[in-house]
Homo-oligomer: A and B are copies of this chain.
Amino acid sequence: MKTAFLGLGNMGRPMALNLHKSGLEVVGFDLATSCLELAREAGLQCADSAREAARGAGCIISMLPASAHVEALYLGEQGLMAELPSNTLVIDCSTIAPDSARKVANEAQRRGLVFLDAPVSGGTAGAAAGSLSFMAGGTAEAFERARPWLEKMGANLFHAGASGAGQVAKMCNNMLLAVLMIGTSEALTLGQAHGLDPAVLSEIMTRSSGNNWALEKYNPVPGVMANVPAAKAYAGGFASELMLKDLGLAQEAAAALKASIPLGSLARNLYAAHGLAGHSKLDFSSIIKLFQEPPHES
């Protein structure tokens, strides 16, 4: 059965290639010709339009930058969904607003399609290694039907609930991650200002009730851990501007339901300030710079 993969950027390309390498027939497409070329060079068969890629496919997978792109692809009289035979499986792996995911899911249901929102975590490294985590929203049937594709691209599959729930789970997780990273940065900086060695303080808190993913796996202080962005001037990793985008989705979701998320909102505004100061492209652990004096030049 043919699979169409729409969106061949830094995440989508390695995901599509993993499906291809597993033996599936995959046809890709991207609006950017540079992405198309990179995918073709890597051995992926590509089409000249989303419509052509989707023709005859039993499964459509999309990996696009934001809500607007996903809605533009699928919805409306000109949208792709109007062309798909009923019962086609559609998996959107983009990180978008839960409301947007629900809107697309509703249209899919109206047209007899099987839709899953399935955003990922794990970054470009996880995409290349096929070790992504998927957080999926949709029926249990849709989740099971999608499993063979998801398993070829990722290592952890979570069924979060009904349509939109995959987006909600990812949004909540990433909001919490931002809070962990900033809280960890504050604690390590405060301790250092009071004379503690950040490696010693990290070790103590990791073995105490302050332990968290950012501290244990992704320490933001240069020199404490090898193989993390802090060890290479915050290059690579998960860009601050992407964290800012995810935090923006959380604000929107909170505003829609009158929820109160004071730390999550403050985290967004601190990442916004960090971006304004010119650090958008650095890994999100670089937020610790907000709390440090810049090194004096000699």
Chain A residues within CB distance 8 Å of chain B: 98, 121, 133, 135, 156, 158, 160-162, 164-165, 168-169, 171-177, 179-180, 182-184, 186-191, 193-197, 200-201, 203-205, 207-215, 217-218, 241, 244, 248, 250-255, 257-270, 272-273, 275-278, 290-294
Contacts and interface: CB of A to CB of B under 8 A. Distances in A.
Copies in the complex: 4
A196 B266 contact: no
B262 A186 contact: yes
9 contacts: A98-B194, A161-B195, A176-B210, A179-B263, A182-B262, A209-B213, A260-B270, A262-B273, A265-B265
B186 A168 contact: no
A277 B276 contact: no
B168 A175 contact: no
Given A176-B187, A210-B172, A261-B269, A200 B160 contact: yes
Given A176-B205, A265-B266, A292-B276, A254 B160 contact: no
A197 B261 contact: no
A217 B201 CA distance: 21
A43 B293 CA distance: 42
A158 to B, nearest CB: 5
Contacts of A135: 204, 208
Given A183-B183, A211-B212, A265 B269 contact: yes
Secondary structure dominating the interface of A? helix
Contact of A263 (B133, B193, B267): B267
A226 to B, nearest CB: 19
A253 B252 CA distance: 10
Contacts of A255: 248, 251-252, 268
A70 to B, nearest CB: 17
A158 B184 CA distance: 19
A174 to B, nearest CB: 8
Contacts of A191: 168-169, 172
A81 B127 CA distance: 48
Contacts of A211: 212-213
A187 B252 contact: no
A296 to B, nearest CB: 10
